Every structure is written in structure tokens, then in C-alpha cells.
Amino acid sequence: MNRVIVVASKNPKKLRELNEVLAACGVACESLDAYPDMPEAEETCDTFVGNARQKATYYARATGQWALADDSGLVVDALDGAPGVYSARYAAERCGDDAPRETQDAANNAKLLDELDGVPDEKRTARFVCQLALSDGETILAEARGEMEGRISATPAGAGGFGYDPLFFLPEHGCSSAEISADEKHAISHRGKALRKFAAMLVGILEDHS
């Protein structure tokens, strides 16, 4: 029987990325949509590592299943690391938490461009960070981190991906991360890198708990 892992997200695009990698490990991934009445985990830490651990532990205890959580975000050098752990709600003052994800993404992107107004291209360096944590409710069973380097464009481009992808320019590709295919993105993305590290560890963890 497959091990059930609760993925601490309701984002369908993020879940699809996770499932495409973890399916080969023989696990059954379950989203938080299966637990509609469960309160969301708090994110009170100021680091990606702390938030990923906090969410994984909370959802594992709440569901009785192993839980995989990620804390991902955009780190912009010219903004002293912002939006960082606040990436998903960077423009919270511009739109409510109950706004559609697409609306929140647009507001976040607009605020980022406002904050970088006047910053020259060579100083708009940035990276996406993904920190993963797997918990059984008592112990952090595995952790993995991935990063993708780039810079912030002055105008959005591309309809793929989500979040800040239309503004995240990839110098080696000559386009934004919203303009490359899903396969290309998996190969170089912060989440893809973290997931491959995590998947390699997960095989051994599953054997130890079989």
C-alpha cells in the first residue's frame, strides 16, 4: 500500500509539480482540499526553513499522516532579501487574503515593480528559494533546499508558471521563467531542484518505515 503524504498546499499548479516528481517514489499525495474544515497552519518564522518545519509538523499532527510542506519565495538583492518569506502576501495591503490567487499574484508583481522603480538592470539580481520539510508530527524526517538565480525584469512576459514567474528573467534562456516549458522549468527551478533532492532521500526513508 502506498504511503499517504499530505501536501501542505491547495495551489493546483504547485501540487502538479510535486506529483510529477513524487509519483515515481510510490507515494499517494493528498492535498489540503481533502481537509476543508482544517484551520491553516500559522507561519510565524522569519526563515524559509522555520516556516517549512512549522507547517509540516502542524499538518502531520492534524491529519495523522506524514506531511510535506514547502516554504518558497523570491529573494531580491536590491530589496535586502524582500519579499522573502512574505512573497505570497507581499501586497496584502493592496488586496485581501480572500482575493483569487491570480489577483494576488498581479498585486504582488505590481508592488515588486514599484519597489524596484529606478533600480538599474544589473542590480535587479534575485533568486527563487524552495525549502521542503517532511514531518511525521514528531520528527522532521527530511529537508531539502533548491535555488534558481535570475533577475527581475521591468515588464512581465509569458503566460506560463505562476506567482512572480512573468517578471523573473533567466539570462541563460534569454526569457522569463513564465516563457519556458514545464519540462525546462523542472530541470532548473528551485522547486525542481529541491524535489529531486527530496525524492532521493524519500526512497530510503520509505524503506526504513516499511
End-to-end CA distance of the chain: 10
Tell me the catalytic residues.
71
Question: Side chain identity at 14, as an amino acid letter?
Answer: K
Sheet with 140-152: list strands edge to edge.
27-31, 3-7, 66-76, 125-135, 140-152, 168-170, 175-176
In whole angstroms, give the CA distance from residue 162 to residue 48: 19
* Residue 39 preceded by cis peptide, ω within 30: no
In whole angstroms, give the CA distance from residue 90 to residue 160: 21
Cell numbers for 36: 476543508
Region of 76 (left: φ > 0; alpha: ψ -120 to 50; beta: rest) is beta
Count of C-beta atoms within a 10 Å radius of residue 29: 17
